[in-house]
Amino acid sequence: MSTATDIIKQPRIKILEILKEFSLEQLNEVPAGFNNNILWNLGHMVAAQQGICYSRMGLPRIIDDEFFMAYKPDTKPEKFIDATRFDKIKELMFSTLDQLDTDLQNNIFVNYPTWTTRYGFEITSIHDAIGFLPFHEGLHIGYIMSLRKVVKK
């Protein structure tokens, strides 16, 4: 695994360790004042990485369309996520990074189109995109850390 994707992987490992003590009901809860839940944030991290790295290039995503549509930006939880779906999210959190590493080594990300994030970052290459991901995931891990305090009763 490259250093760039390892920087993404390590916080993912840590947040899943922190969440082991939570029930599925707690992970699915959308507390008052929040728009989403812990599981949506985890799924969103996967979907965003896929959108930023693959969809923007016009490349097929590793995740299926149903998963992407459920967790893409500007969505919210629509249904209870059961243990099977949670296991799928956890698996995708790492398999997508492994595939990203492979695709980086195979140099499939040529002519990455320039775009500006909603946070004002100009992304001009796949390396910029991967550099942006830890910032984005840090925001969502922050949301998860806030949510866990509210749902833990």
Instruction: Convert the pLDDT of each residue in 88-142 to its tens digit.
Output: 999 999 999 999 999 999 999 999 999 999 999 999 999 999 999 999 999 999 9
Q: Cα separation of 92 and 16, whole Å?
A: 13
Burial 42-78 (b: 16+ CB within 10 A, else e): bbbbbbbbbbbbbebbeeebbbeeebbebbeeebebe
CATH 1.20.120.450 fits 3-151, yes or no: yes
List, for residues 39-88, the tens digit of each pLDDT value: 999 999 999 999 999 999 999 999 999 999 999 999 999 999 999 999 99
CA distances from 152 to 14, 47, 71, 97, 120 (A): 18, 26, 23, 30, 34
